[in-house]
A = this chain, B = another copy of it.
Amino acid sequence: MTLLEQYKEKQKKISYLGHAASLMNWDKETTTPQGGMEKLAEAINYFQTEIFKLSTSDETFDLVCKLAEPEEFNKLDDVMQFDIKRNKRDLEKMRRLPQEVFEEYVKATTKASIVWPSAKRASDFSKFEKELEAVIEAVKKYHSYVNSDKQVYDALIDQFEEGMTQETIDRVFGNLRKELVPLVEEVTSRKEPDHSKFRFKVPSHVQDKVCRFLVEYMGMDMTRIAFGETEHPFTTSMNLDDVRITNHFKEDNFIEPLFSAIHEGGHAIFEQNIDHKYEGTEGGAIPYMGLHESQSRFYENILGRNINFWKPIWPQMTEMIPELKNVTLEEFYQEINSVEKSFIRTEADELTYCLHVILRYEIEREIFKGNVEVKDLPALWNSKMEELLGITPANDAEGILQDMHWSDGSFGYFPSYLLGSIYDGMFLEAIEKDLGNIDDILAAGDIRKITVWLKENIHQYGSTRISSEVLKTVCGKELTAEPLIKYFKKKYSA
């Protein structure tokens, strides 16, 4: 066997183990009965350990290094060149990590993940303080090995959005903050729409039907998608031809599941549209969370919360949900765009959501600059909430304890959500330049033209272009929040 064949055989085996681990994780969230959870966790742990061992083994690393030598490397096609380059870089990093530091990290996050839910239930940050401190220390230590060339928080951001830095985020989030705080103030001072008109019940199986209709309308390939139900909706994929989205139907609130479907549908369309030549290689897996969120949020907010998205399908909507015949499309539009100052990020509207993310970003930055002690975090949270939204949480559960991300060590992840929206403002500009006014495209029922544009300009490349390269190629400029601000101002001044 040639070196390349040996390497591909190894990657193939890893992909089978990965298929098993992904399927088990999917099953855990959608199907496994309570009684089977313990044994499932054990099996997942087995496969994840095997994958880690196999992909970081000396034998694999040796193959990668040999294939990275010029005389071998130059024989590879572009797909394998990208794969080898990326893999070598990541393996070199991971191999700097001493086993005991990795184990310490796993121990700290495991402990914190167990303690967090009970601290949240008790709404008492002090119960979580010690565990959070341990996670922060473990994270710092981890990155002092893996990314010794970077500030810890830059390394954390880079993990989820390659090439991104605090400096850049400070700039764009800063601009956004300045504009959004007064805009939210203005919009929320207006009269609230009448929510009572939307308080009817829609059975789960009807919501399921509507959601499938919506994602198909958006341009999902229905032969390569599976649907599931879960507590907290997510998207996953076994491979490029088996992508999966989940939803949480709520009989008392049918609107949230609809937008959840559009959001996860956006993630899934991205995955489906990656060029098949990258299947099973580094180029086929997308670690750029900002870019990924930009696609889900583009469908959810820029398209889904546009009145013209609904115009061509309003007859189908009212047929599937007959109660909608009692409201106008305009009223529905108002309802899905109502802005409210509220405490919980995941329930926030398109506009205030940005401020929720800015709050978390600013706190994380202070933590890793060493400017705040863990015990003082609740006070910092509450004062930032006051500063940004003019409201103060009544307790830790609706304040600092609401998100699980910190307990599992995912510092640096939150900015991705907002970066996604900022990219969306830029993509919107680019699409309108290429295809014309988006309102007209949507009103004509041509949403799939937009999906094709996203595929051709963004999706097909998988992870072979980092987000800043995508922006440069697609939008012809550097990251800027201006287009998003323009979009918000236009939409919410109306």
Report which A residues bind B (CB closer than 8 A).
Answer: 13, 16, 19-20, 23-24, 27, 31-36, 38-40, 42-43, 46-47, 203-205, 221-226, 228, 238-239, 241-242, 244
The 9 closest A-B pairs by CB, nearest first: A36-B242, A35-B224, A35-B241, A20-B20, A205-B205, A34-B223, A16-B46, A19-B43, A35-B223
Report A456 CB to chain B, min CB distance, Å. Answer: 20
Complex contact A39–B205 (CB within 8 A): no
Inter-chain contacts of A24 with B (CB < 8 A): 19-20, 23
Closest to A15 in B: B43
Interface pairs (27), CB distance under 8 Å: A16-B42, A16-B46, A19-B40, A19-B43, A20-B20, A20-B23, A20-B47, A23-B24, A31-B228, A31-B244, A32-B238, A32-B242, A33-B222, A33-B223, A33-B224, A33-B226, A33-B242, A34-B224, A35-B221, A35-B223, A35-B224, A35-B241, A36-B238, A36-B242, A39-B238, A39-B239, A40-B238
Beyond known contacts A31-B244, A205-B205: 10 more, CB 8 A cutoff: A20-B24, A32-B238, A33-B241, A33-B242, A35-B221, A35-B224, A36-B239, A36-B241, A39-B238, A204-B205
**CA–CA, A34 to B16, complex, Å?**
18
Complex contact B205–A242 (CB within 8 A): no
Inter-chain contacts of A205 with B (CB < 8 A): 203-205
Report A466 CB to chain B, min CB distance, Å. Answer: 27
Report A290 CB to chain B, min CB distance, Å. Answer: 27
Inter-chain contacts of A228 with B (CB < 8 A): 31
**CA–CA, A185 to B36, complex, Å?**
49
**CA–CA, A222 to B35, complex, Å?**
9
**CA–CA, A34 to B20, complex, Å?**
18
Inter-chain contacts of A203 with B (CB < 8 A): 205
Report A229 CB to chain B, min CB distance, Å. Answer: 12
Q: Which of A36, A47, A225, A238 has the most CB of B within 10 A?
A: A36
Complex contact B36–A224 (CB within 8 A): yes
Complex contact B19–A226 (CB within 8 A): no
Report A267 CB to chain B, min CB distance, Å. Answer: 16
**CA–CA, A173 to B27, complex, Å?**
43
Report A144 CB to chain B, min CB distance, Å. Answer: 34
Report A162 CB to chain B, min CB distance, Å. Answer: 27
Report A445 CB to chain B, min CB distance, Å. Answer: 25
Inter-chain contacts of A13 with B (CB < 8 A): 46
**CA–CA, A223 to B32, complex, Å?**
9
**CA–CA, A35 to B27, complex, Å?**
19
Report A254 CB to chain B, min CB distance, Å. Answer: 16
Complex contact B241–A39 (CB within 8 A): yes
